[in-house]
Every structure is written in C-alpha cells, then in structure tokens.
Amino acid sequence: MQYQEITIQVAEEFNEILIAELTQCNYDSFLEDENNILKAYILENDFIENDLKELQTKYSEIFTFSYVHSPLAEQNWNAQWEADYPPVFIDDKCVIKAHFHQIEQKYPYEIWITPKMSFGTGHHDTTSLMIKTQWSINHKDKNVLDAGTGTGVLAIMAEKLGAKRIDAYDIDEWSVTNTIENIALNDCKNISIQQGIITNVNLLQEYDIILANIQRNVLLEEIKHYAKKLIKDGFLLVSGFYEKDVNVLVEDAQKNQLKYEQHFVQNDWSVILFKKSV
C-alpha cells in the first residue's frame, strides 16, 4: 500500500486539534518527532490536499500551520512503529507499555496500551505530569471523571488507584474505540467511555476528582463546567499547557470557586491541582 506522509509545522499545543481533525479525514497514524514536528500518514488513495487547506482556513484565527507532503514506499508499518515506540517509565513506579515490549522488571503500576498515535501514550510530558500528580490524590472509592480521555491512560490509572467509578469521554471516535481496547487490555471493570463533550454526555451530578489533559483554550472554556461537577473539597487536575499559561488558568479557576493547590513543570509543560472551596 502506498502512503502519503504529511509533515506539519505548528505550535505543539495545537497538535491534538489537528490529530482529531485529520482522523476524521482518514489519516490513520501520527508521530511527533524530537523537533516537535507533527507527521501524519494516510493511504495514497485517500489523500485529498484540499482537506488540509480547509483546516488552515477553519483555524486561521486561532493558529496557523504549514505542511509538505510526499509519497512513501511500501514498508512493514507495524515493524517500523514498534521500532519507533519505546515504553514509558515514570519515576520507577509506573511503566506504560505495548504487547511487543519485553520488560522483566515489575513496577507498582503497569499500564498496557495499543499504540496507534503518539498523544496519550504516555510519551508526552503532560501525560506523565498528570499521572505523577494523580498519585498524590486519594482515589480510593472515589467517583472520577476523565475529560478528553485520549487513549484512556489516566482513567486506567484512576482504577488502579482504587476509584470505584470512572466516567471518561472524548470528542473523537478514534479515541473512544482505542480507550475501549485499552480498558480490556488492562482488565478494568469500573470505567465507562462515551463520545462527546462535557455538555452532551451522560454524567453523574458530582465527582470527587476530575482529570482534564486538554489544551489551554478548551480548559478555559470548560473549567466552569468542571467546577459545577465537583463535590465540595473535590479535586480538579489539569494539564496540556505551558508554564507561561499557569497564571491565566489559575485566575479563571478562582472565579469558579476552585482554589489553587500546587503546580509542577516538566520541559516547560505544566500541571495544576485545584480544590473546590465551596
């Protein structure tokens, strides 16, 4: 099968938006390389350059991106992906791995995933920041909401930490399908997954913990909804933004009765923990 490789230059915080959009256009795999270049792959027969031009127009007032495309020769895509996909180790406490990884050492937390794209597999700094901060929150017998679940990694960690119910949702159909696969791989029993956004999925009235690893602009739009869904003294954990954005998110959260607890930084990416004050 002949593939097209599209190399996209865009601010890293907008990769997730482009991945979600391109998935709807039949792109089936993505890579973020060491230079923060997003690469997208699609079968030659499915490639329509006008799809990219329409996305440039659609998001022109929010961000810009440029691209080049070129054909790729046939190759063993599974073998290539496995070669490019290392396991993720987080603080000697957690490993995120695929079926082809041979790891003899045992870790307190082991998460199995089927890797189909880079975001949400644990390789991104925001995912590891979220997981490390989750460890500081008591999940035992708690109700947890995972907003924009991606591959379901945070929801899976929540169950491993003892949560009794985890509701997860994502706007992207691919993410829902992949999360279902990963829930099964990890033999999780307490996670349910829906497609949609926070205003149109079926949720509980209140949650003890809400997790949201989403880009900054979406967080600013949705923090008010998260606040309404939290019990008093409940925790909101957010990431998906740079350290320079911490202040604006804290200010918006405080307007919604969310008290800043702490934040951490890793390679300029940040995570913030809030607690509902009323």
Q: pLDDT, tens digit, for every residue of 242-267?
A: 899 999 999 999 999 999 999 999 98
Whether residue 170 is found in the same domain as residue 47 = no
More confident residue, 278 or 235: 235
Per-residue confidence at 78, pLDDT binned at 50, 70, 90? low
Q: How far apart are CA 208 and CA 99, in angstroms?
A: 33
Q: What value does the mean pLDDT take over residues 219-232? A: 96
The range of the structural domain enclosing residue 62 comes to 3-73
Q: What value does the mean pLDDT take over residues 100-120? A: 81
pLDDT of 82: 57
Whether residue 240 is found in the same domain as residue 136 = yes
- Whole-Å CA distances, 78 to 4, 38, 59, 74, 164: 16, 19, 33, 12, 36
CATH number of the domain that 60 lies in?
3.30.70.120
With 0-12 / 13-18 / 19 or more C-beta atoms within 10 angstroms meaning exposed / middle / buried, residue 76 is: exposed
More confident residue, 150 or 209: 209
Per-residue confidence at 99, pLDDT binned at 50, 70, 90? confident
Q: DSSP secondary structure string, 183-199? A: HHHTT-SSEEEEES-TT
Give pLDDT tens digits for 158-200: 999 999 999 999 988 878 998 999 999 999 999 999 999 999 9
Q: What value does the mean pLDDT take over residues 80-100? A: 82
Phi and psi angles of residue 16, each rounded to the nearest 5 degrees, phi first: -60, -40
CATH number of the domain that 144 lies in?
3.40.50.150
Does residue 177 belong to any structural domain of this protein? yes
Q: How far apart are CA 204 and CA 188, in angstroms?
A: 20
The total of structural domains in the chain comes to 2
Does residue 96 belong to any structural domain of this protein? no
Whether residue 248 is found in the same domain as residue 152 = yes
CB 30 within 8 A of CB 118: yes
Does residue 93 belong to any structural domain of this protein? no
Per-residue confidence at 56, pLDDT binned at 50, 70, 90? very high
Q: How far apart are CA 61 and CA 42, in angstroms?
A: 26
Does residue 180 belong to any structural domain of this protein? yes
Report which of 146, 148, 134, 48 is spatially closest to residue 91, judged by C-alpha positions. Answer: 134
Whether residue 160 is found in the same domain as residue 272 = yes
Whether residue 266 is found in the same domain as residue 149 = yes
Whether residue 124 is found in the same domain as residue 62 = no
pLDDT of 105: 92
Q: How far apart are CA 183 and CA 258, in angstroms?
A: 31
Does residue 152 belong to any structural domain of this protein? yes
DSSP state of 242: E
Residue 118 has pLDDT above 50, yes or no: no
Among residues 18, 46, 73, the one where a domain terminates is 73
Q: What value does the mean pLDDT take over residues 7-11? A: 93
Among residues 52, 73, 94, the one where a domain terminates is 73
DSSP state of 136: T
DSSP state of 234: E
Does residue 218 belong to any structural domain of this protein? yes
User: Does an H or E element contain 142, and which?
Assistant: none
With 0-12 / 13-18 / 19 or more C-beta atoms within 10 angstroms meaning exposed / middle / buried, residue 110 is: middle
Residue 20 has pLDDT above 50, yes or no: yes
Per-residue confidence at 2, pLDDT binned at 50, 70, 90? confident
The pTM for the full model equals 0.76
**Strand-pair category, 230-242 with 191-195:** unpaired
Q: What value does the mean pLDDT take over residues 202-225? A: 94
Give the lowest-confidence range in 25-34, 202-211, 267-276.
25-34
Whether residue 176 is found in the same domain as residue 250 = yes
Does residue 13 belong to any structural domain of this protein? yes
Among residues 39, 73, 107, the one where a domain terminates is 73
Does residue 98 belong to any structural domain of this protein? no
Whether residue 59 is found in the same domain as residue 143 = no
Q: What percent of the chain has pLDDT over 70?
A: 92
Whether residue 145 is found in the same domain as residue 212 = yes
Whether residue 65 is found in the same domain as residue 135 = no
pLDDT of 187: 97
Whether residue 50 is found in the same domain as residue 133 = no
Residue burial 213-232, b: 16+ Cβ < 10 Å; e: rest:
bbbbbbbbebbebbbebbee
Mean pLDDT of the chain: 90
User: Does an H or E element contain 207, and which?
Assistant: strand 207-213
Whether residue 146 is found in the same domain as residue 247 = yes
